[in-house]
Amino acid sequence: MKSEPELPFLRFVAPGVRTLRPYEPGMPVEELERNLGVAGAVKLASNENPLGPSPRVQEALAEAARGNLALYPDDGAFRLKAKLAALHGVSTAQITLTHGSNTLLGLIAQVFLGPGRCGMYGEHAFACYPLVTQAQSAEAVVVPSLPADHPQQPYGHDLEGFARRLRSDVAVIFIASPNNPTGTWNAPDELEALLEHVPAQTIVVLDEAYYEFQEPDYRPRSRAWLKRHPNLVVTRTFSKAYGLAGLRVGYGLAHPRVTDLLHRVRQPFNNGTLALLAAEIALDDVEHVARCVALNAHERARVREALHALGLRVLPSQTNFLAVDFGRPAAPVHRGLLERGVIVRPMASYGLPNFLRVSIGTAAQNDRFLAALREVLRCHSPRDCE
């Protein structure tokens, strides 16, 4: 069979983009119901907040939607930046707001990575780190994870391994603590020791998307570190504990010179009017965030115990999800859950084919997942139970 000739414009595609595989998001409920004819499905695949945004946010958005949305938003985000500056004890010149924290990761790569430079991240790290590194045609330095039998953080980030593999051409280091998709984390002292070891010209990105779900003793002292380490960038999001995943608001804290560089490549008006308003109000409703965190802690412990009772290994987690080891390829289990209307996340693309990642939902959603899982595990093959 004759192969089609290459289209002429492909010669100018950036080398890194040529072989880049796009990010695969969690399956939407509508897609499952459409493809498999399943009704009333539940989605526990994308680490979303099952309680959603604050009721105050919902009321404010309903009112604001009746306003004049024909005008561009405040690109300087004056009110939201002022609140964030007060919360974190930084100046507004240290804050970069983006359309979700993923966009911020891309801006960091755009500014600091490129041919002849390296991005460093851990094995089983968040999928966006290799994406943004390769998109800039930079080399990836992937640090092997801690061993599967590590007593505290199996499959976690080996920060001593990061330090050993540092090279003069490593321009950016990406570290998520806690990490997605494993749920594992690094102690504040470990993170601080790495910061002290990294040369001043290397940007260290500390991704704290799941910060609010961590117990206080485990939380990094990142705001204090910013004063001593101008090469540190801390990223946060409103998508998780604040329940605003559908509005896409993320932000970074960094030295003003770093922030200035990021603003040079940030697209104008990348946060909409409603998104900025929602984030402002969400910051004020600390009681709602506390309820979300408390529900997650209680249900995470309950689901973990139920999974252990099924003889399954569960990685330690300080997030709103659990990584579950089935001891064999998890694809048939994933398929069986889909057929029963439960969407979770397979982890083969992260190099963990025996694992599924399940987000922590409401008590009813978690019960639905556990009941479906028990049914699937009783079957030699998921289809045997149809």
What percentage of the chain reaches a pLDDT higher than 90?
85
**Class of the CATH-defined domain 8-52+287-380:** alpha beta
Domains of the chain, residue spans: 8-52+287-380, 68-285
Confidence grade of residue 9 (pLDDT, cut at 50, 70, 90): confident
More confident residue, 26 or 172: 172
pTM for the model: 0.92
Q: Residue 243 corresponds to which tokens in the numbers above?
A: 């329940």
Q: So what's the pLDDT on residue 4?
A: 61
Mean pLDDT of 248-264: 97
Q: So what's the pLDDT on residue 2?
A: 59
Give domain 68-285's CATH number out of 3.40.640.10, 3.40.309.10, 2.60.40.10, 3.40.47.10: 3.40.640.10
Q: So what's the pLDDT on residue 357?
A: 98
Residue by residue, DSSP assigns 223-269 as HHHHHH-TTEEEEEESSSTT--TTT--EEEE--HHHHHHHHHHSPTT
Q: Quick check: 102 pLDDT over 60?
A: yes
Q: So what's the pLDDT on residue 382?
A: 45
Q: So what's the pLDDT on residue 333?
A: 97
Mean pLDDT of 224-238: 96
Q: Quick check: 386 pLDDT over 70?
A: no
Mean pLDDT of 24-33: 72
Identify the burial level of 353 via C-beta atoms within 10 angstroms of its C-beta, where 0-12 means exposed, 13-18 middle and 19 or more buried.
Answer: middle
Mean pLDDT of 54-74: 91
Q: Quick check: 5 pLDDT over 50?
A: yes
Residue by residue, DSSP assigns 260-321 as HHHHHHSPTT-S-HHHHHHHHHHHH-HHHHHHHHHHHHHHHHHHHHHHHHTT-EE---SSSE
Q: Quick check: 291 pLDDT over 50?
A: yes
The Cα 231–Cα 163 span in angstroms is: 16
Q: So what's the pLDDT on residue 3?
A: 64
Q: Which stretch of 13-27, 116-130, 262-276 has the lowest confidence by average pLDDT?
A: 13-27
Q: So what's the pLDDT on residue 20?
A: 76
State whether residue 118 is helix, strand or coil.
strand
